[in-house]
A and B are shown apart, each in its own frame.
Chain A
Amino acid sequence: MTTTTLAVLVPLLPFLGAAAGLLLGRTAPGFVRPLAVLPPLTAFALAVLVAVRQGGDEAVDAATQLTPTGSVPVELALHIDGFAALVAVLVGLVATCVQIYSTGYLRDDPRYPSYAALVSLFTSAMLLVVYSGDLMVLLVGWEIMGICSYFLVGHYWETPEARAASLKAFLVTKLGDVPFLIGLFALATDAGSFRITKILDTVASGGLDHPTLIALLLLAGVAGKSAQFPLHTWLPDAMAGPTPVSALIHAATMVAAGVYFVARLLPVFQASAAALVVLAVMAAVTMTGSALAALAQDDIKRVLAYSTIGQLGYMTGALAVGDRGAAVFHLLSHGAFKALLFLAAGVIIHAAGTNSLAAMSRMGDLRARVPDAYWTMTVALLALAAIPPFSGFFSKESVLGAAEHAATGHAEHIPGAAGWTVLVAGVLTALLTAAYATRLWLLAFRGKGAEAPDHGRQPRTMTVVLWVLAAPSLALGGLAYGRLPDWFDGDDLAPTLTTSVLGTGVALAGGLLTYAAWRHTTAAAARTPLGAVAAHPEADAATVEAEAIASHEPAYGDVASAPDPADPGRLLLGPLHRHAAAGFHLDAVYTALFVRPVQAGARLVRFLDREVVDTYVHGAGALPRLLGTAVRRAQTGNVQTYVSALLAGTVVLVVAALLVAAGA
């Protein structure tokens, strides 16, 4: 088979698996699990094969036109360069791990067939985005991901949190998608084609008429999809979905799509210095803000969600300084360790019976209950905190190195301001990242108190994938940073001395600071008992998690934070803690800016309809109703009266007819 055929099969197989799963889910329950696991697994194998064949050489391009589509042609096109090949491998790997993990995690879930099919569809859509060489086809995958995330985040739709979160995820990403669509049209109009290769040729020859406008419109869609400030608010709330879905969304599919899209069309963004500065500021605000918020969250998954937003901030930062190699490098290593973090968090939530870090910090021996999750999560958190030699160190250093490169003016076309913004925010975020990673680890695994409830042994499917993902988290960065430039643009990705020392130094400082704060506050933990645990020794992990999510607000008064004086984050953040826990009140701002005006508008329309339009309608009906009341009085119920009236009428008619006939 040619590389093109293989590449077509990669998104197609999970799609067929999803269709088959949806059709056969009820009639043949025995096929559901194979249908869920095998297509992504095969797609992963094929993606590896495609990557090996492509080998970072000349991009594979193929296109066919199904039908003429008017002025700007839409083609089914593939464009596989080094970026696409490697990102597809990551997507395949994470999707396969998530599907295997889900067979254990949702083993008793009645809606598992549709869930598994939607995960496959999600994967297929992301692979389509990755391989597509035509922006319209890319948009199809982009939107399918939007609707799949809506369904999957709302998987526990019995809980109000999940319903609200799924709607929010859908609406916020759509808010970005509208300008995105307009931007795509504007770009295609300027370039005369939706093909990425042609657009890049046009950009190279300076043929774009409105680069700033197009770049900013596209950025809106990217901000929505990749959860960048100010459209990131859906991501922490999306934690109301099942943990494997969070892993899929955060590591490989949904949020990676935005970064990957910018990486593909980076020359378009580079054509406008203003867009790069906007991108840099967006990245800087996103990463520092989200890291502060992560330090204040109580839900273990919300900590990870904010950390995803922050790491995506690093990627957009790398893009803002024009180094897409570093961005995609960080995307790959982040995909591996963030998937691992989420899947391990799922195991921990199952074992602890709660998603609250405050409750976990009052449990002894949690790490002995889940040894696999303990060790793999330690690896992943070290990678997240960018401690050498874990993979996160190399990818984050490549981002910081690129920012330093741009800040010192060595990069062409890149404003120095963008470089400085990303560099300063990046170093600050490195400190905060290490702090919240340490806090998460200490609270989850170093708790003191009563023993954790026993939920039995974790299913093997859930623990094995953790070790599978631990390998790239541990070693990907160190092994790959030398070879990846061959696959990417050829820029050096090796860590530079200055940023390495700086980054590792602040990371260590952040970790030690948190440790000191934790030692200081841990005595208080014993004094204030806290915690609510959902204990279902027999139930599967998903049941425990759904209950833990639903009970967080009744138990602690808030979905994001808990009133825990022993929390080191509270000591570190001081008065900022309250605001950080609420995500810096951005939701309240949105409520004031958008929700209230829309509701007021709705009330106005309702008033106009009920009181104004309806008055005329009722007025028009009044006269016939009056006449009707009068006529109704004749309805006495006495048949003989009716017949008399009939007779009288007949007589009158006969007399009239006779008079007319007589000519009187």
Chain B
Amino acid sequence: MHLAYPVVLSSLLFCTGLYGVLARRNAILVLMSVELMLNAVNLNLVAFDVWLSKAADETLHSGQALTLFTITIAAAEIGIGLAIVLAVHRNRGTADIDKLRDTAEGHETDGPEGPDEATGATDPAEQTEKAEATA
């Protein structure tokens, strides 16, 4: 088989992954896209290993060995990544990357409580009224 087929396939996979990472909003889909990109790289590794081993007298198949490492590490990575996404979802009620902007410059209040506090602070008279009503 010519080297071009797996290389084209892997670049298509990589581009799909890249698009997913850049464009998707759901964190889980972003993680899946990252997996796609990793697998594209794995495919490249295997393909080039086979192509190179044809020419060489002796080979260690180090490309394929490296692929095994990558798969293992990708499994661990996706485990941790999913756990983080799950924790974030439990905390924030959303896994939307666009809304997780806590690291932005000038970001003061954290989470969805911020606006609530702000409205509470702007209207203390209403709060005291409520307190009186409950009393």
Q: Which residue of B lies closest to A631 (CB)?
A: B105
Q: In the complex, are the beta carbons of B105 and A632 less than 8 A apart? A: yes
Known: A638-B97, A639-B97. A647 touches B18 (CB 8 A): yes
CB distance from A18 to the nearest CB of B (A): 60
The answer to whether A647 and B22 have CB atoms under 8 Å apart is yes
Q: Are A633 and B105 in contact (CB under 8 A)?
A: yes
Assess whether A636 is in contact with B104, with CB atoms less than 8 Å apart: yes
> Any chain B CB within 8 A of the CB of A635?
yes
Q: Is A110 an interface residue (CB 8 A)?
A: no
In the assembled complex, the CB of B14 is this many whole angstroms from the nearest CB of chain A, namely 11
Our pick among B18, B22, B23, B101 for the contact of A636 (Cβ within 8 Å) is B101
A635 touching B22, Cβ below 8 Å: no
Interface size class of A (residues with CB under 8 A): 10 to 19
Contact status A637-B107, CB under 8 Å: yes
A-side contacts of B104, CB under 8 Å: 635-638
State whether A635 touches B97 (Cβ < 8 A): no
Q: Is B102 in the interface zone, CB < 8 Å from A?
A: yes
User: How far is B101's CA from A635's CA once the two chains are assembled, in angstroms?
Assistant: 10
Contact with B along A502-520 (1 / 0, CB 8 A): 0000000000000000000
Of A640, A643, A647, most buried by chain B (CB within 10 Å of CB) is A640
- Specify which chain A residues have a CB less than 8 angstroms from the CB of B101 in the assembled complex: 636-638
Chain A nearest CB, measured from B54 CB (Å) = 26
Given known contacts A635-B104, A636-B104, A637-B103, is B22 in contact with A643 (CB within 8 Å)? yes
Residues of A within 8 A of B18 (CB): 647
Distance in Å: Cβ of A642 to nearest Cβ of chain B: 10
Q: Cα distance A633–B106 when bound, in Å?
A: 9
The dominant DSSP class at the A interface is helix
- Is B21 engaged at the interface, CB distance under 8 Å to the other chain? yes
In chain B, what residue has the closest Cβ to A632?
Answer: B105
Task: Write the B30-60 contact mask toward A (1 if CB under 8 angstroms, else 0).
Answer: 1000000000000000000000000000000
How many of chain B's residues have a CB under 8 angstroms from any CB in A?
A: 15
Instruction: Report the bound CA distance from A639 to B30 in whole Å.
Output: 11
Residues of B with C-beta under 8 A to A643: 21-22
* In the bound complex, CA of A632 to CA of B107 (Å): 12
Specify which chain A residues have a CB less than 8 angstroms from the CB of B23 in the assembled complex. 640
Q: Is the CB of B105 within 8 A of A635?
A: yes
Report A450 CB to chain B, min CB distance, Å.
60
Q: Is B117 an interface residue (CB 8 A)?
A: no
Q: Does A69 contact B (CB under 8 A)?
A: no
Q: In whole Å, how far is B124's beta carbon from the nearest beta carbon of chain A? A: 31
Within 8 A of A (CB), among B56-107: 97-98, 100-107
A644 within 8 A of B: yes
Q: Mark B103-126, 1 if CB is under 8 A from A, else 0.
A: 111110000000000000000000
Contact partners of B97 in chain A: CB under 8 A:
638-640
Q: Which of A525-569 contact B (CB under 8 A)?
A: none
Query: Which residues 627-657 of A have a CB within 8 angstroms of B?
Result: 632-633, 635-640, 643-644, 647
Bound form: Cα–Cα A644–B23 in Å:
10
- The minimal Cβ–Cβ distance linking A658 to chain B, given in whole angstroms, is 16
Residue in B22, B102, B103, B106 whose beta carbon sits within 8 Å of that of A640 in the complex:
B22
The distance in angstroms between the C-alpha atoms of A615 and B79, with both chains bound, is 54
Residues of B within 8 A of A647 (CB): 18, 22
**Interface 1/0s, chain A 608-640, versus B by CB < 8 A?**
000000000000000000000000110111111
A residues apposed to B, CB below 8 Å: 632-633, 635-640, 643-644, 647
Given contacts A635-B105, A637-B104, A643-B21, 15 further A-B contacts (CB under 8 A): A635-B103, A635-B104, A636-B105, A637-B100, A637-B102, A637-B103, A637-B105, A638-B97, A639-B97, A640-B23, A640-B30, A643-B22, A644-B22, A647-B18, A647-B22
The 6 closest A-B pairs by CB, nearest first: A637-B104, A637-B101, A635-B105, A632-B105, A637-B103, A636-B104
Q: Could you write out 23 A-B pairs with CB less than 8 Å apart?
A: A632-B106, A633-B105, A635-B103, A635-B104, A635-B105, A636-B101, A636-B104, A637-B100, A637-B101, A637-B103, A637-B104, A637-B107, A638-B97, A638-B98, A638-B101, A638-B104, A639-B100, A640-B21, A640-B30, A640-B97, A643-B21, A644-B22, A647-B18
